[in-house]
Structure 1
Amino acid sequence: MKKVVLAITGATGAVYALEFLKLCQPLGVEVHGLLSEAGEQVLGLELGMSRRDLDPFVARWHDVHDFAAPMSSGSSDFSGMAVLPCTMGSLAAIANGICGNLIHRAADVMLKERRPLVLAVRETPLNKTHLTNMLKAHEAGGIICPPMPALYHRPRSIEEMARLFAGRVAGLLGIEVADLPRWQGIPPEEEA
């Protein structure tokens, strides 16, 4: 069974985290959750939900101030981590090795152990500091994956669009989601 960490920070895009959790549950993926105070606030503002509403999808929640939690050590058996969505503040801490909370420390562990770390950074427009921190995180081994929904599958709802992106994040963590549409090229009947 695959075991991953999902960190939800205060950037907009809580729906991506929800759809990621919904994808992982039927696959038997054990998801351990980290939720920042701002992440919980955004969860409420955007989805009208609280941490308790996500309990059915999360094996265990860990306090973001608990540096004794399992994911704070390289000896833990987590196979990867997603910060979904990822604030620019979280990106800055991760890119610069500043472990101010368990989200930053768990990400630091993923980098040092060479395990997949997906950072779904959310901000626009981007300034030079954002871009520099993205490059630093990338050079340290992180995967920078901004939530840029694919529209060529013609999603019919925000949830469907978020599910497609969440499936992409899952794939980057080595979690195979079989029923997600994949680009197959232009269908012969639509070619000119």
Structure 2
Amino acid sequence: MTKRVLVAITGASGAIYGVRLVKALKTLDAEIHLVVSRWGAETLKFETGMTASALKQEADMVYREDDLTAGPASGSFDLDAMVVIPCSMKTLAGIAHGYADNLIARAADCALKERRKLILVPRETPLNLIHIRNMAIVTEAGAVVIPASPSFWSKPQTVEELVDSVVERVIAHIGLFQDNAAKWDETGQSQ
């Protein structure tokens, strides 16, 4: 069964995480819904050279950040998962405190109230106490926080492999299976 996934890209550094997730979901035949914030588009262009328009070509459905009439703004809109990747601390704070002033925060609010999978991938360091408390609040509300902290046990050789180690964790939490994902086996070895 095809999974319907809303990917939201905010202005936090680490736009490559969102790009790699969209590309991976496409190979898994997921139905990709995409919203890129204004600052997400700026960061995407600055860090990767890719325009938001180019990334939107990879999605099945695209929404504007300010469109609170879009499907994902309603709890009755069916989604299997929502991923905010990368998740800025501003977006995290909005989600944690129910301040749904744009489509990303409103869709996340709907995911929480409907008990759907909400995955937040913050890319910030160091963290202050407010960040940590906001992560605790969203976790207690039902979200999964997957920090953009790559794995090294798989011996990555490129930046893309580092990024993919986080993306693979996200995909696993969505409930999709990747044949080529690095895994730790029962013998204590990576495969």
Fold conserved (TM > 0.5)? yes
1:100 counterpart SS class: coil
Which AA in structure 2 matches 1:167? E
1:120 matched to 2:103: no
What does 1:78-117 correspond to in 2, within 5 Å? Answer: 78-117=79-118
Structure 2 residue identity aligned to 1:54: L
Structure 2 CA distance for aligned equivalents of residues 112 and 61 of structure 1: 23
- What one-letter code is carried by the residue in structure 2 that aligns with 1:90? T
Q: Which has the higher relative contact order, 1 or 2, with Cα contacts under 8 A spaced 6 or more apart? A: 1
Distance 2:56 2:8 in 1: 14
The 10-residue stretch of structure 1 (56-65 or 141-150) with the greater mean CA deviation from structure 2 = 56-65
Between the aligned partners of 2:69 and 2:33, the Cα distance in structure 1 is: 14
Which secondary structure does the structure 1 equivalent of 2:110 belong to?
Answer: helix
Identity of aligned residues (%): 39
For structure 1, the 5+ residue unaligned runs are 188-192
Mapping for residues 111-150 of structure 1, pairs under 5 Å: 111-150=112-151
Cα distance in 2 for partners of 1:69, 1:170 equals 24
2:182 maps to: 181
- Matched residue type, 1:68: T
Report the AA paired with residue 63 of structure 1: R
Matched residue pairs, number? 187
Q: Tell me the equivalent position of 2:172.
A: 171
SS at match of 1:57: coil
1:158 and 2:159 matched: yes
The corresponding residue for 1:37 is: 38
1:177 offset after TM fit, Å? 1.5
Output the CA distance in 1 between the equivalents of 2:50 and 2:169: 24
Please list the CA deviations of residues 56-98 of structure 1 after superposition, one character each: whole Å capped at 9, or x if unmatched.
3211210111111111111111111000000000000000000
Q: Which one-letter code corresponds to 1:9 in the other structure?
A: T
TM-score by length of 1: 0.94
Give the partner amino acid of 2:105: H
Q: Displacement of 1:55 after TM fit?
A: 2.9
5+ residue gaps in structure 2? none
Matches of 1:128 and 1:2, distance apart in 2: 35
Q: In structure 2, what is the Cα distance between the partners aligned to 1:30 and 1:93?
A: 26
- Tell me the alpha carbon deviations over residues 117-148 of structure 1, each in whole angstroms, 9 at most, x when there is no partner: 01101211111111111111111101111011
Q: Counterpart amino acid of 2:128?
A: N
Runs of 4+ in 1 over 6 A off after TM superposition: none
Secondary structure class of the residue paired with 2:115? coil
**AA at the equivalent of 2:53:** R
Q: Distance in 2 between matches of 1:124 and 1:55?
A: 28
In 2, Cα distance between the equivalents of 1:6 and 1:96? 21
- 1:9-63 CA distances to partner (integer Å, 9 max, x unpaired)? 0111111111111111121101111101110011011100111221332112101
Larger deviation: 134-143 or 177-186? Answer: 177-186
Match of 1:51 in 2: 52
